[in-house]
């Protein structure tokens, strides 16, 4: 099991999330950006999304970021704080703007999907080890990071390296790879992301993402071979489901341990005996026995929009981790929280009530496999039976 930091240390919150949040403009109707007449304003940011969902689920959460001293920055701080997230450590930049982006209503995996980012030179790109409150970042049982931040600037990358470096007393480090090729200014992105993932305790990565970034094919087990260091590795397989590799190491990742042990460096593309690409620093001799793998199928969902679903999955998995639930239930809570976003139009959606989610996560395999969720399902009366939501697809 992945153990989290101390529960009762002074000023400790459940989760701290670091990253850029932007104002997002959602189209009033489907169509090309060139044809959409108006947009509705919202908020979006991988890490702040996780913080908002966790706060809505009843956890204490803090978002640390940097926004412009402008109206969009005001909106972000107020909106994220409105979810119950602590925003007292967000810095305001008088010289750089808050990032914004526009997107179309379609599934972003299709050719018709468009996103227009206006984030170059944003306030968030100026985050650095000297420009944030490191004590506030480390004052959580979990510190959640993503590869997006590393791509914003060299200062941001330095900050992530500082936070993922082994050190006494660090919280559990959660890292969502979030490979975004368009954000990187050079070809080092895949290597940097592998290096950062190696320093984390809990890593989220998509199977297709691992293939695109690192050229790893052959399924989740091959990804685990290339990334053996994290105590827990979650490989997302889209509509099929997700696999978690999780080991029990006693006090390995508890408060004060300092993270995974350092390993000798190697280059991306160097293969092991089976040809699997090696992560930077991967040991020449991997673990003698692989961590147990747990697979949980995804739910059947009537999808409205996919943006933000990966962040919601991470939030659901982290929520269950904070509650010390079994690995199977962590995956199921990830799927349920993702389903809340998949059945709503924006980047964020209220998660199901805890009792409601617990009841669904406890379904037997047959009932879980026939459960289908559509828009509004999170508002279902938790005292109504599973048959209220479930039907055979």
Q: For residue 141, which phi and psi values (nearest 5 degrees)?
A: -65, -30
Q: For residue 181, which phi and psi values (nearest 5 degrees)?
A: -55, -35
Note whether 69 and 94 are within 8 A (CB).
yes
Say whether 311 is catalytic: yes
Q: What does each C-alpha distance from 125 to 16, 46, 195, 294 come to in angstroms? A: 19, 15, 20, 37
Cα angle 329, 51, 87; round to 5: 155
Q: Which residues contact 51 (CB under 8 A, 6 or more apart)?
A: 15, 16, 17, 61, 62, 63, 80, 83, 85, 144
How many residues are recorded in the chain?
A: 393
Name which of 158, 232, 168, 156 is nearest 197 in CA terms: 232
User: CA quadruple 183, 90, 140, 129: dihedral positive or negative?
Assistant: positive
d(CA 151, CA 352): 33
**Residue corresponding to tokens 């696999």:** 243
Spot the catalytic one: 311, 329, 347, 358: 311
Active-site amino acid positions: 311
């Amino acid at each position: 099991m992945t153990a989290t930091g101390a529960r009762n240390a002074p000023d400790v919150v459940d989760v701290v999330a670091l990253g850029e949040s932007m104002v997002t403009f959602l189209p009033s109707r489907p169509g090309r950006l060139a044809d959409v007449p108006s947009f509705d304003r919202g908020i979006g940011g991988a890490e702040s999304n996780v913080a908002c969902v966790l706060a809505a689920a009843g956890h204490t959460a803090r978002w640390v970021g940097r926004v412009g001293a402008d109206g969009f920055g005001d909106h972000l701080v107020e909106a994220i704080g409105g979810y119950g997230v602590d925003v007292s450590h967000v810095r305001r930049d008088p010289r750089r703007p808050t990032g914004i982006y526009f997107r179309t209503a379609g599934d972003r995996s299709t050719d018709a999907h468009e996103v227009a980012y206006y984030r170059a030179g944003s306030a968030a790109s100026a985050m650095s080890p000297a420009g944030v409150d490191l004590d506030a970042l480390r004052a959580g049982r979990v510190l959640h990071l993503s590869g997006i931040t590393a791509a914003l600037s060299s200062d941001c990358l330095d900050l992530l390296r500082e936070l993922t470096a082994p050190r006494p007393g660090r919280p559990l480090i959660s890292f969502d790879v979030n490979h975004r090729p368009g954000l990187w200014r050079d070809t080092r992105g895949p290597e940097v992301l592998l290096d950062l993932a190696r320093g984390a305790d809990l890593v989220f990565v998509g199977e297709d993402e691992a293939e695109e970034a690192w050229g790893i094919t052959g399924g989740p087990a091959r990804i685990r071979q290339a990334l053996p260091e994290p105590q827990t590795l979650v490989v997302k397989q889209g509509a099929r489901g997700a696999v978690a590799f999780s080991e029990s190491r006693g006090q390995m990742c508890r408060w004060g341990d300092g993270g995974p042990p350092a390993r000798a460096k190697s280059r991306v593309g160097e293969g092991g005996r089976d040809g699997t690409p090696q992560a930077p620093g991967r040991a020449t001799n991997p673990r003698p026995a692989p961590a147990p793998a747990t697979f949980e199928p995804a739910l059947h969902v009537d999808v409205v929009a996919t943006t933000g679903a990966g962040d919601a999955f991470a939030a659901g998995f982290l929520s269950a981790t904070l509650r010390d639930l079994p690995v199977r239930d962590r995956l199921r809570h990830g799927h349920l929280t993702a389903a809340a976003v998949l059945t709503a139009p924006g980047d964020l959606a209220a998660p199901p009530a805890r009792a409601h989610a617990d009841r669904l996560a406890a379904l037997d395999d047959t009932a879980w496999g026939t459960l289908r969720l559509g828009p509004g399902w999170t508002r279902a009366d938790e005292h109504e039976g599973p048959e209220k939501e479930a039907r055979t697809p």
